[in-house]
Amino acid sequence: MRLLRPLLILSSLGLLLSGFSMPSFRELERAAFESLLNTALRDYFAGTLKLDQASIGRDFRLRMSGLRGELVTQERPVAIELQSLSSQEPLYQLLFLKPIHFGFSGLKPAGSLNPGISGQVEALAKKNWAFALYANIDSLGLEDIIWVNPDGLAGSSGRMVGVVEVKADASGHSEFKMELAVPEPGGSLQARFFDSVTPYLPKTKKKTKNKAETLAATHETIGYREAQLTAQLAQDDQVKMLLRIMIPDYNLKLNLTLLVKVDEKNAFLKLFQLLGIIQGQPPKAS
């Protein structure tokens, strides 16, 4: 992976500087980490990453804090921040091609009052590289992710929690699993959301489909009591998704299963586009 080679360079640099405590050396260390992160992640942040602090201590563990940047999206750049990241093992393990784990916390859109996302990244930097992400969505508001789909999510609200797991390796094998929920009391959602849902409702659910079509025609912001969205990689280019949502005012309880087609280049980003189901197909009968 593109990030692993710069990380090896960062490790070597950090090991060289770890014995120095003078402010000038610490600033050099921080600037070097910031520069290499911008190089490795240029496709995603276009060189906008800024880092408040970064150092490798005498225990040879990396500690970063105050990472900020503008994530490149189809709509507009989105300001993102990461509160902290640290290695759980000494960085010299990378030099010996051993796996290393990084814990992180406070990943969220800049300015959000919610705790955001925390978790762990596992990386193995060698020819047969491997990568794993285990993320806990401690709390994010739907209003924090309106940038994902401004037309569909404008006016949405609700406290979102959940987990995301991503695995990939040099052989091409990949795994993805996501479980998101907005628990009671729920929140609000654009009625136009159901324009995307109704084409994939089973023909046997005629009553439910009529309710969904009636709701979508209101073009209002409607309240929901709770919602769940789960997703799992079914094939390399298909993700099986299950959406459940309850709309008390319309006595509507929606359960929808479908396949979402994603392309390899930006598959995982699309999985967070809650209205991406407009690209879905009903799953084939087994």
Q: Which domain holds residue 87?
A: 1-126
Distance CA 162, CA 260 (A): 20
Is it true that the peptide bond before 185 is cis, omega within 30 degrees of 0?
A: yes
pLDDT recorded at residue 125? 75
Q: How many domains does the chain have?
A: 2
Q: Are residues 159 and 117 in the same domain?
A: no
Q: Are residues 173 and 78 in the same domain?
A: no
Mean pLDDT of 9-23: 55
Q: Are residues 16 and 76 in the same domain?
A: yes
Predicted TM-score (pTM) of this structure: 0.80
**pLDDT at residue 9 greater than cutoff 70:** no
pLDDT recorded at residue 148? 76
pLDDT recorded at residue 121? 93
pLDDT recorded at residue 254? 85
pLDDT digits (tens, 9 = 90+) for 24-72: 667 888 898 899 889 888 888 999 999 999 988 888 888 999 999 999 8
pLDDT digits (tens, 9 = 90+) for 131-165: 899 999 999 998 898 887 777 777 889 999 999 99
Q: Are residues 62 and 133 in the same domain?
A: no
**pLDDT at residue 253 greater than cutoff 70:** yes
CB atoms within 10 A of CB 50: 14
213 token code pair: 């079509």
